[in-house]
Structure formats: C-alpha cells, structure tokens
Amino acid sequence: MDLREYYLSNVKASDYHYRFLDFVKKVNYSYNVFYGVRETQNYQFEIYDVEDAITKFRELCQLDLYFSVEDKCWFYLITYYLNMLGYEIKEFPRILARPPVEPEKFTRDDIGGKIIALGRDDKGDIRYAARRAFVEEMTFKKNNCSIEVNDSINQKFIEISTRQASFSSMHIDEKIAEIANLIENLLKQDGKYSTPEYENVCCGFIDDSIVKSYRNKMQCFRHCTDEAIEERKAYSEAQKNFLVDYGLTIVKAIHQLVK
C-alpha cells in the first residue's frame, strides 16, 4: 500500500493532517538556483499492512535528534493512516490525531519526558537501550465502536462515502458524518422523507423526533465551515464514541424498518 497516495487521495481541508499537504506533495522535489524546482528524489512510502506501519512508526521513534525530509514525511503519513483507522497509542492518546509539525517534539521531548517520569533515565540522560525498550512497549490500540455493523449496512456506507470507504476505515468524525448521511439516505423515498413505524422495533426508545434531533445536532460533522469545525471541538472523544454507537442503533432500526 502506498501511504502517500492514500493520504493525497483522502485528506480533506477539515482534517488536522491537512496542514502537511504541501510538504507531502513536494517531498520528492527540491529547489536549485540554476534549474528552479525539480523532482530530484524518488522516496517511496510503501507498507504491507497496519502491523508494518506500526513497526515503521516505532523505528521513527528511535530518532530523537534529527528527522530527514523522508523521515518527516513517513511520520506525517503513518500518523494520518493509523488515525484514519481509529488507532491511538495508550501512552500518548492524542499523538496520532494531532502530531506536531516537528516530529522531534514527540520523539525527543514527549518520549524523553515520559522515560524520565518513569525513572528510567540515567541522571537526566536517555540511554538508547531505555528508549528502545520504552518504544517497543508502547501500546497501539484500535478504538472500535461497540455496535456491530453488518455487511448490508457497511455496503451502504461504502456506497454513500465520497471515497467509497468501509465504516471501519473511517476516522471518528467521518463516521458521525456518514451516519447522519446514511440516516437521510434511508429515510428519503422518492424524493420525500418517510416516517417509519419506529414503535414496531424500538420499544418507544427511538421515535421520529429523536431521529430528527440527532440529525440536526450532527450537522456540524457534515460541513466544513469555521463555525461547524468549532462546534465539533465541543465534543469530547467519549461523547463522539457515544454518538457513533447511538447513531448506528438508529441506522439499524431504520434499515430494518424500510428494507
């Protein structure tokens, strides 16, 4: 899998990682006073699978002093890729979602600070063996929603996704946006919104007013205006996870009622 191609094909202006777009685009180019900007490198950013990406990320975390242009691009691409798949690092929960522009801030300062806090330094110095051991111990975990998405519903997510993405490959904000989109898609019949008989399956816990309220509140995840982006920031990760599970429950109910 080409991580650079994956990034360029999927990153959106509303994504935190969008700030790295210009760097990623030009990673193989350099400026010469005689020839101007020319493609002088052929850096490749290929991985086999998620495990391969995590292994490469651990290698980058051994670099506490200097990141080459190639290393920096790897850092940007891997953090984007793993974040898109819903991964986080237990010891540094926000690093994949919000990596610093200068990777050394994480690999030198954050990792070094954690090693010192654990008392595994040598009078303030971080030995290579201590760093290597700590990096190998870092726990990568995937935040899966607790509501199962069956094949039929997942196929509908793929069909409405602008990038034909399966639900599991979406980052959390994208999941909420696509849940809202799918609810609308399922309810719209012949250009008009239908009102399913929710009481037939929902035991009074979900009705038309609840579905409308959910859709209205999730509008900020569907738009990229400054106001919408600010509104999204008000939700914690725990709240977003709840909104995913709650939204999927609504989707499953509607899917059963309208199929």
- pLDDT for 145 equals 59
Question: Highest mean pLDDT: which of 12-21, 52-61, 234-243?
Answer: 52-61
**Buried-exposed string 49-67: b where 16+ CB fall within 10 A, e elsewhere:** eeeebbebbeebbebbeeb
Query: Do 131 and 40 have their domain in common?
Result: yes
Contact status, residue 157 vs residue 183, Cβ threshold 8 Å: no
Q: Kindly report whether the global pTM for this prediction surpasses the value 0.75.
A: no
- pLDDT for 144 equals 62
- pLDDT for 175 equals 92
Instruction: Using the 3D structure, point to which of 142, 164, 191 is the last residue of a domain.
Output: 142
Query: Do 14 and 133 have their domain in common?
Result: yes
Q: When comparing pLDDT for 259 and 50, which is higher?
A: 50
Query: Do 159 and 250 have their domain in common?
Result: yes
Query: Do 129 and 20 have their domain in common?
Result: yes
**DSSP-assigned beta bridge partners for residue 32:** 36
- pLDDT for 146 equals 64
pLDDT digits (tens, 9 = 90+) for 24-55: 999 998 877 677 778 888 999 999 988 999 99
- pLDDT for 33 equals 67
Query: Do 39 and 82 have their domain in common?
Result: yes
Range of the domain at 237: 151-258
Query: Do 18 and 132 have their domain in common?
Result: yes
Distance CA 32, CA 35 (A): 5
Which contiguous run of DSSP H or E holds residue 73?
Answer: helix 69-84
Instruction: Using the 3D structure, point to which of 113, 142, 171 is the last residue of a domain.
Output: 142
Backbone φ/ψ region at 186: left (φ over 0), alpha (ψ -120 to 50), beta: alpha
The mean pLDDT value for 227-242 works out to 89
pLDDT digits (tens, 9 = 90+) for 70-102: 999 999 999 999 988 888 999 999 999 999 999
The mean pLDDT of the chain is: 91
Distance CA 252, CA 259 (A): 11
Total domain count, the chain: 2
Question: Highest mean pLDDT: which of 33-37, 171-175, 208-212, 238-242?
Answer: 208-212
Distances (CA, A) of 28 to 60, 79, 88, 158, 219: 19, 20, 29, 33, 39
Query: Do 114 and 164 have their domain in common?
Result: no
State yes or no: pLDDT of 20 exceeds 70: yes
Contact status, residue 139 vs residue 89, Cβ threshold 8 Å: yes
- pLDDT for 134 equals 95
Query: Do 117 and 34 have their domain in common?
Result: yes
Query: Do 98 and 159 have their domain in common?
Result: no
Q: Token digits for 249? A: 């429950």
137: Cβ contacts below 8 Å, ≥ 6 apart: none
- pLDDT for 220 equals 95
Query: Do 57 and 167 have their domain in common?
Result: no
Q: When comparing pLDDT for 126 and 179, which is higher?
A: 179
Provide the pLDDT confidence category of residue 125 given band limits of 50, 70 and 90.
confident
Instruction: Using the 3D structure, point to which of 124, 142, 160 is the last residue of a domain.
Output: 142
Query: Do 117 and 193 have their domain in common?
Result: no
Contact status, residue 125 vs residue 68, Cβ threshold 8 Å: no
Distance CA 78, CA 63 (A): 15
Q: Token digits for 94? A: 């926000």
